[in-house]
Amino acid sequence: VELDVTAIASLVNFRKGFALDRYAGVIITSRDSNITSLGDLQDAHIQAVAISGLGAMQLQQAHLLDLGLNIFTDVKQITFTGNQNKIVQDVHSGWADVGFVRTDMIDRSVAANKTKWEYFRVLGSVDDPDFPFAYTTAFTPEWPLASLPHVPPAVAEAIAFALMRLDRDAASETGLAEPALLGSYATWVPAMNYQGLMGMLQRIGYYDVNNRRCLRPSQVMDAVTCPP
């Protein structure tokens, strides 16, 4: 919105044998922690990736705000690591009490033999047999590709069409499967609806609708709203 860009295609990821057009946020703690529910977070040291991190900060922040918890004013400490792998490691080691990561982050660490699921507990886990990963928050569409205003519509359309031809299940002789296989995704689809995401960012104070401007990581203090 701020840069007047237009979404032209959306990614369909490929994880654990599933083509996924959405993801969510996960709130984790160690299995042996005395933090067993989202109601126990006031005294926790929480780690997130960055104030601009959607799947490892903003989705969790919005979810907790809906439950009446402001993570900037109602918890003991929040730190930003810039790296989701470090969040997983620090929660495992006990350096952090709680971590914010996106769906499939722990599964990827497990697949890389860096950790084991048995070390962790998901707080506020949603029982969803139709989604292959544990999650806590609402879903958001997978990442879009967008064009800037100066890009001719015909060029944007051609790029979107080319992306949507890429498919990991395409016949090998076409050459259309290789980019998806190398990129660990399934394909691209017409741009999904991101209005719900914009509403969420506005609700947590990261999007100024009057000035059509998103909060930058360097403006982290602007996101802190002190209680009256």
Q: How confident is the model at residue 214 (pLDDT cuts 50, 70, 90)?
A: confident
- Band (pLDDT 50/70/90 cuts) for residue 223 is low
| Residue 64 pLDDT exceeds 90 | yes
- Average pLDDT in the 194-200 region? 90
pLDDT number for residue 45: 96
- pTM > 0.75: yes
- Give the other-Cβ count within 10 Å of 33's Cβ: 17
User: What confidence tens digit (pLDDT) does each residue in 73-97 have?
Assistant: 899 999 999 999 999 999 999 999 9
- Over residues 130-135, the mean pLDDT reads 96
pLDDT at 203 over 70: yes
